[in-house]
Amino acid sequence: MQCYTELLPPTGVTHSLALPFISESANNLVVARTSRLQIFSLLDVGPRPGGIEEQGVPKLVLEREYALPGTVTDLCRVKLLNTKSGGEAILLAFRNAKLALIEWDPGRYGICTISIHYYERDDSTSSPWVPDLSSCGSILSVDPSSRCAVFNFGIRNLAILPFHQPGDDLVMDDYGELDDERLGSHGLESGTDCDMTKESIAHRAPYSSSFVLPLAALDPSILHPISLAFLYEYREPTFGILYSQVATSNALLHERKDVVFYTVFTLDLEQRASTTLLSVSRLPSDLFKVVALPPPVGGALLIGSNELVHVDQAGKTNAVGVNEFSRQVSSFSMTDQSDLALRLEGCIVERLSETNGDLLLVPTTGEIVLVKFRLDGRSVSGISVHPIPPHAGGDIVKSAASSSAFLGDKRVFLGSEDADSILLGWSVPSSGTKKPRPQARHTEEDSGGFSDEDQSEDDVYEDDLYATVPEVVVDGRRPSAESFGSSLYNFREYDRLLNIGPLKDIAFGRSFTSLGGEENAGNDSGLELVASQGWDRSGGLAVMKRGLELQVLNSMRTDLASCVWTASVAHMEEAVSKTTTQAENRECHQYVVVSKATSAEREQSEVFRVEGQELRPFRAPEFNPNEDVTIDIGTLIGKNRVVQILRSEVRSYDGGEFTLLMMPT
């Protein structure tokens, strides 16, 4: 029995993903707000500030949203064969070991469920020593080449779901019945998803039968898995897993110091077997996450509460400590940047570019930190960490980030449950600005501010990467790593998604206007809900009203109005610009079209031009001269056409001397 009513849907973003979803060439952002899925497109609007080479300011446009029957725990992109839209698919993980594979259906202009998989069988969760699935976390990761997905659930269970790709042997297989999971024909939202029978799936499924393995089948020593992720640049599906043979404990740190292992396994999907490629032992016990890095860096970045550790494909390690506890909790060899005093629990790491290995790191305090790698060819020889100062956009993020997505073209999305989610952009400072160079023989924490173009190897790193070098004090101050970060990137905000949570307390009261003291006309009961929301620097008050409060700038009286449309248009010579962006940058005229029904078969349309805050009649003799009934008025995105749908004909208008100038707003 439902005993509550949801007043507002979830507003905090828990997961985010960037992929071409709606079409093959689209650039979409998909976000999960606990139990709500939203699909956005990026639209460039107007010129970007601070650079002639930048064509427009990206804005997020909501395409569709869905209420999901469950709590989303992860999102991953999958490249499938012959999707309906030509784009990629999304694999969603839910609580209680459930997976759903969805794609975009252009015919319905909405999502379509390909399959649903769930792994709640008694034989995998019946042990009295294993907690219930609802109490366990899960980890979902998809191979970068989309050959398979792995789903770690119930602590030590690993489900492997293979996908068919061009040229593989799986495409020629008889898919048959899927024994290891049940496929649901019900969509994520009733009435919006496609129904697929088992017979159609057996011949058209883009995946093969999944199977479940205990993690001990990979290696008997994997008793306490921590994190895993598929790695880039391997011929076969290969993932790295972070685990320990004994449970890590801060209270028993003197006995369980550096007990974490990192092992890389490659999967043989046909034989359902695995091979160990490398293993690194005696890693810091506070490591909690594996982040796979694409070229040119490659390998994996292991994130701990007090340090960052990079492991390349050959097992070579480089590490940097970012606070005063890194040396106390671990004996692992690492560069010392303890003066940064960063706390990395729950941080988010995202790449900044497809051409270099720089990473964006956002700790729970909300500050922006730059992580750079020193590359000698394809080999990583060092890591450096640089906080971004406020004047370079380092204070844009006000609270912890919950997820991130790299959108390309110098754009990164940062989702948050504690504050507004932000679409972040960055630019490179002008080449005329002189970049500060590090002083000779700095300590290792300062030696990371390097540029491959401007600095030599001897100016940046010591011969012994892990040696301790005495500090150098210049003019009574120690050189700051922030200057190097600000000389490389300037961050700015492009767009944001509103979040009114988390709510700490609420109160009801009557609404009165601040000037006249009269009760709000847009709220029949006069009651408002006021809540304290946000966290830390993002905190504030949220006022929730039962109705919209409109601020009337101007009004005019009209009789028998049946419909109203608005339009924005440029002159003909302005509308024929070579690019849409150029046309959008020009001055446009605003129009209002009012349709009046004179009889059941006739109507009269009046056109008004917006001048300041007034509406003035505008003579448009070409507009609906037959007094036919207007059904709808639509515009094209190029701002050079408006389409009028009449009951007996379709009319198209453009900017000219005697035709109505109407373009999309």
pLDDT at 77: 97
Separation CA 234–CA 264 (nearest Å)? 11
The mean per-residue pLDDT over the stretch 151-157 comes to 88
More confident residue, 464 or 626: 626
pLDDT at 611: 82
Q: Say if residue 625's pLDDT is above 80.
A: no
% of the chain beyond a pLDDT of 70? 74
Strand partners for 224: 244
Q: Read off the pLDDT band of 17 (50, 70, 90).
A: very high
Q: Is 134 helix (H, G, I), strand (E, B) or coil?
A: helix
The mean per-residue pLDDT over the stretch 640-644 comes to 73
Q: Say if residue 315's pLDDT is above 70.
A: yes
pLDDT at 104: 96
CB 371 within 8 A of CB 358: yes
DSSP code string of 428-451: PPPTTSPPP-PPTT--TTTTT---
Separation CA 178–CA 125 (nearest Å)? 20
pLDDT at 413: 97
Q: Is 573 helix (H, G, I), strand (E, B) or coil?
A: helix
CB 335 within 8 A of CB 308: no
Q: What is the pLDDT of residues 158-169, one digit of tens each?
A: 999 999 988 665
Separation CA 415–CA 413 (nearest Å)? 6
pLDDT at 395: 92
Mean pLDDT for the chain overall: 79
pLDDT at 640: 64
CB 664 within 8 A of CB 637: yes
Burial 267-300 (b: 16+ CB within 10 A, else e): bebeeeebeebeebeebbbbbbbbbbbeeebbbb
pLDDT at 474: 34
Q: Read off the pLDDT band of 509 (50, 70, 90).
A: confident
Structure tokens at 189: 């939202």
Burial 94-108 (b: 16+ CB within 10 A, else e): bbbbbbbbbbbbeee
Nearest C-alpha neighbor of 11 from the set 467, 609, 533: 533
| Segments of 216-306 assigned E as strands | 224-230, 238-244, 260-268, 273-283, 287-292, 300-304
Q: Say if residue 183's pLDDT is above 80.
A: no
Q: What is the pLDDT of residues 238-252, one digit of tens each?
A: 999 999 999 888 888
pLDDT at 637: 61
Q: Measured between alpha carbons, how far is residue 613 from residues 433, 552, 590, 592 in Å?
A: 45, 10, 11, 13
CB 401 within 8 A of CB 468: no
pLDDT at 169: 52
Q: What is the pLDDT of residues 91-104, one digit of tens each?
A: 999 988 899 999 99
Of 8-22, 172-186, 225-239, 498-512, which gets the smallest average pLDDT?
172-186
Of 69-78, 223-232, 341-350, 575-584, which gets the smallest average pLDDT?
575-584
Q: Say if residue 29's pLDDT is above 50.
A: yes
Q: Say if residue 197's pLDDT is above 50.
A: no
Separation CA 116–CA 98 (nearest Å)? 7
Count CB atoms within 10 A of the CB of residue 574. Answer: 19
Total-model pTM: 0.77
CB 113 within 8 A of CB 195: no
In a 10 Å sphere around its CB, with 0-12 CB exposed, 13-18 middle and 19+ buried, how is residue 634 labelled?
A: exposed
Q: Say if residue 554's pLDDT is above 60.
A: yes
Q: What is the pLDDT of residues 244-277, one digit of tens each?
A: 999 888 888 888 899 999 999 999 998 888 999 9
Structure tokens at 46: 């107007």
More confident residue, 122 or 366: 366
Q: What is the pLDDT of residues 434-477, one digit of tens each?
A: 444 443 333 333 333 333 333 433 443 333 333 333 343 333 43
Separation CA 427–CA 327 (nearest Å)? 35
